[in-house]
Structure 1
Amino acid sequence: MESNQPVLPRKILYVEDDPDIRAVAEIALEDVGGFTTAICESGAEAVERAPGFEPELILLDVMMPGMDGPTTMQALRKLDGLEAVPVIFMTARLQKSEIEEYQALGALGVIPKPFDPMNLSEQIAQILADADGRDFR
């Protein structure tokens, strides 16, 4: 019997250059949220690892050296099987024009930094629900 309940993505590719934020997010995503993650410290690493990991959701830091978040998203979109994987940006840059720019690039939403590790998975579920019109919680 099929369920009409949407399923929250379980495999998250997380890209963040700051090691302290990466460590907190890993705990928040894996231990609190129950997600399986591939944690990358750069856009280049994400592009290399994503095809083998097959993420169901991509969380991207916006400001990173080398490939920033938007550039990383564009590179990931060119890879087979990743063209339609949902992307959520994480950033402290929260001006309305900046958020609109990220959404114009195809991101579903933005999670403000600093984020609350205990509520990160709830924020992800809310963005997915708002984007899809379904309740992922």
Structure 2
Amino acid sequence: MSTKQILVIDDEAAVQEVVQSCFEDLAGWTVITANSGEAGLEQALATRPDAIVLDVLMPDIDGITLLRQLKASPTTEAIPVVLLTIASAFTDPGGCAALGAVGAIAKPFDPFDLVEQVADLLGWALEYREDCL
């Protein structure tokens, strides 16, 4: 199994922890976290992860502004982005595509379904860790 590297950008520590645990414990993905848009942009440029899970509502740089910055940079433009949001307007597939995201997952989300939802949006075959089965 090849390990995927995911950058999770969310200003809520509890959400970061839940998402990180799901991705690492269930799928075996490596997770990098950032607690602000600015820190997320720095991490994305430095690490060039396989995908980014991005909160839409953040205080410093909101997720939509950050998504535009990511898509405008040659270093990060090809990285697929999944939005996490409480705003139902962003969960429309057409709206996500217009913004440059591969999709959106509504908050609150079911932690046990999250890995499968993200893998489906990214088109990744999901290989659960054997010690979790």
TM bin (shorter chain): 0.7 to 0.9
1:120 equivalent in alignment to 2:114: yes
Q: Where does 1:65-84 land on structure 2 (aligned, <5 Å)?
A: 65-84=59-78
1:56 equivalent in alignment to 2:50: yes
User: Residues 14 and 40 of structure 1 are in contact (CA less than 8 Å); yes or no, is this contact kept in structure 2?
Assistant: yes
Aligned to 2:131: none
Aligned to 2:125: 136
- TM-score normalised according to structure 1 size: 0.81
Q: Secondary structure at the residue paired with 1:37?
A: strand
Identical aligned residues as a percent: 35
Give CA-to-partner distance per residue, 1:10-37, whole Å, 9 cap, x none. 1111100111111111111112221111
4+ residue runs of structure 1 moved beyond 4 angstroms?
Answer: none
**Residue segments in structure 1 that go unaligned for 5+ positions in a row:** 1-6, 130-134
RMSD value over aligned CA atoms? Answer: 2.1
- Aligned equivalents of 2:54 and 2:2: distance in 1? 18
Q: How many residues align?
A: 125
Closer, same or farther: CA 89–122 of 1 in aligned 2, 3 Å: same
- TM-score normalised according to structure 2 size: 0.83
